[in-house]
Structure 1
Amino acid sequence: MHPYRPRTPYWILPWTVLLFLPLVWTGCASAVAGRFADSLSAAILDANDLETVETGGPAYLLMIDGFLREDPHDESLLLSAANLYAAYAGLYVTDPARKRKLTDKALDYALTAFCIRNRKGCDLRKASFEDFRKTVAAAKTADVPVIYTLGATWAAWIEAHRDDWDAVAEISRVDALMTRVIALDEGYRDGGAHQYLAILATLLPPALGGRPEIGRHHFERAVALSEGKNLMVKVTYARRYARLVFDRGLHDRLLTEVIEADPEVAGHTLVNTMAQKEARLLLDNADDYF
């Protein structure tokens, strides 16, 4: 992926947000922290200024770490932290070592949330694949947010560690998690589980075990279920599948549709703004690729 390269150093933090922390802890800290995390997450998703989010993101990471130090067993906060760390690493971080560090933390938070939800799954990462599969197969509809977040952060972790074949070998675990999400609630997060399965299927070329046609099926389902609201689905479809199989027509059509779309969609504006930037970059260098 051709990542957005910020001009503003990430370490310039909005200290006024940090000064707000003592006020947050007044009263019922956990409840206030949870509401604040939810509201701030929504505000971030609806932002259309990539640099503002890139600059403020590290402050929020530190803030939610602080909340969890106070209440390390809050499932909602753990899921928020896992999602934010994985998303920030994927959208903004280009240094491989730093990306690995952030996704390590995201996965740890997600695994802790799963353990809180299901005490039998506290050793999930060490379990044999057969035991892992049985644990995931027992998940119910109410567990979907937890298993989806675990699958999403695990996929981000694999992407960050893709040079490590032991990490890549864990693809089957993400596949099991997202397959269960689809079985329980296919439309969750606008069909996001299909997008993750598509990415995993196209992570490697066919000669090394990639499954591009399975990936295409999942991309098509993700596009249909998102109803065009999540433009990053089409960008990922173009970059992961169309480029992998050298389908220039599909590649250019998908990216043109992204560029011509309105990015201002509740809950998707930030990602859509990033998607349009990436779409332009991919189209600009398409002649060199194809």
Structure 2
Amino acid sequence: MKQWRAVCSVVLLLIVQGCAVNRIGDNLAKGIEDNNDLVLVGEGLPSYLLMVDGLILTWPERTSLLRAGADLYGAYAGLFVEDPDRAATLNEKALDYAMRAACSQRSDYCDLRQTPVPEFEALLAEAGDEDLPLLFTLGSAWAGYIQTHSDDWNAVAELARVRALMERVVTLDEGYQNGQAHMYLGVLNSLLPASLGGQPEQAKAHFEQAVALSQGRNLLARVLYAEHYARLVFDRELHDAQLHKVLEADPEQPGLTLQNVYAQQQAQRLLDSADAYF
């Protein structure tokens, strides 16, 4: 854990010396994203979380720090926490930070969960390029929250708001974060089969666009394509082809390395269970 204490010390020293707090918030998540050691990150990330909590206590309305907190808590809950109750608690904190970031950036975003859907969509229609990072962080944190609160119908009812956020991200810049908004929309459209109101063909199009926009570097897009679409429509050939491509790829890609290493683990898990599923 010494290396993580050193990172914290350096960051705090830079703050004392007058380094821009916005830049610190933006760079915290990047250092995690480019690490290829899931075990190291899993053991060390709680130190980052505690540090971000402390920074936010000092600068409670700093949008970049609140966004960093939302991203880091969401990533930790999604990648490293298996206990469902703990994951739910961490995702709740991620969403709280994301909502606070939204409010700190735009005062008309301070009550988004209670805003009627038509007004919510109207607010999103006014969002510009400068709001793009916030919209993506908010949509990601909200999706994670709903996933770990799926037994709460009030939470599930908010899926339409997550969809609207990601659709606005796609409209503003579909290539943002290697097309990951398309990845989220792919999952949202494949939650149910077509017979129950799902939209699997739209899901397929979103997954394929996510892969294309990242030039195949976003390996998690292929894993989710296999898990959520190919399994939904019982396409074993597509399922296995996507997962083999993931396992054959180089996971070390700027901004995607940690996620890609995790994707390769999940690809192997899905292949190992394919005979039983299909």
Mapping for residues 191-210 of structure 1, pairs under 5 Å:
191-210=179-198
2:234 aligned with 1:223: no
1:207–1:161: structure 2 CA closer, same or farther, 3 Å change rule? farther
Structure 2 CA distance for aligned equivalents of residues 223 and 254 of structure 1: 10
* 8 Å contact from structure 1 (residues 124, 132) kept in 2: yes
SS in 2 for 1:193: helix
Mapping for residues 23-38 of structure 1, pairs under 5 Å:
23-28=13-18, 31=20, 33-38=21-26
Query: Residue in 1 aligned with 2:270?
Result: 282
Q: CA deviation at 1:38?
A: 3.5
Q: CA deviation at 1:40?
A: 3.7
SS in 1 for 2:276: helix
* 8 Å contact from structure 1 (residues 13, 58) kept in 2: no
- Identify the match of residue 88 of structure 1 among 61, 76, 85: 76
Q: Please list every run of 5 or more consecutive structure 2 residues that lacks an aligned counterpart in the other structure.
A: none
Structure 2 CA distance for aligned equivalents of residues 194 and 182 of structure 1: 7
Query: Residue in 2 aligned with 1:3?
Result: none
* 8 Å contact from structure 1 (residues 42, 267) kept in 2: yes
Residue-pair matches, total: 278
Query: Residue in 2 aligned with 1:271?
Result: 259
Structure 2 CA distance for aligned equivalents of residues 114 and 14 of structure 1: 29
* 8 Å contact from structure 2 (residues 28, 68) kept in 1: no
Q: Please list every run of 5 or more consecutive structure 1 residues that lacks an aligned counterpart in the other structure.
A: 1-10
Once the two structures are overlaid, the 10-residue window that deviates more, 14-23 or 192-201, is 14-23
Structure 2 CA distance for aligned equivalents of residues 200 and 213 of structure 1: 12
Q: Which is bigger in relative contact order (C-alpha 8 A, separation at least 6)?
A: 1
Structure 1 CA distance for aligned equivalents of residues 240 and 135 of structure 2: 34
Structure 1 CA distance for aligned equivalents of residues 10 and 126 of structure 2: 42
* 8 Å contact from structure 2 (residues 25, 64) kept in 1: no
Structure 2 CA distance for aligned equivalents of residues 21 and 217 of structure 1: 42
SS in 2 for 1:167: helix
2:148 aligned with 1:168: no
1:141–1:38: structure 2 CA closer, same or farther, 3 Å change rule? closer
Q: Match of 2:184, as an amino acid?
A: Y
SS in 1 for 2:53: helix
Query: Residue in 2 aligned with 1:130?
Result: 118
Q: CA deviation at 1:165?
A: 2.0
Q: CA deviation at 1:133?
A: 1.0
Q: CA deviation at 1:22?
A: 5.3
SS in 2 for 1:190: helix
* 8 Å contact from structure 1 (residues 198, 219) kept in 2: yes
Structure 1 CA distance for aligned equivalents of residues 197 and 88 of structure 2: 23
Mapping for residues 234-273 of structure 1, pairs under 5 Å:
234-273=222-261
Query: Residue in 1 aligned with 2:169?
Result: 181
Query: Residue in 1 aligned with 2:106?
Result: 118
Query: Residue in 2 aligned with 1:7?
Result: none
Q: CA deviation at 1:243?
A: 1.1
2:127 aligned with 1:139: yes
- Give per-residue Cα distances to partners, 1:227-267, cap 9 Å, x unaligned: 11110110011111111111111100000000011111121
SS in 1 for 2:178: coil
Query: Residue in 2 aligned with 1:71?
Result: 59
Structure 1 CA distance for aligned equivalents of residues 193 and 6 of structure 2: 47
TM-score by length of 1: 0.90
SS in 2 for 1:189: helix
Structure 2 CA distance for aligned equivalents of residues 228 and 266 of structure 1: 13
Q: CA deviation at 1:93?
A: 1.1
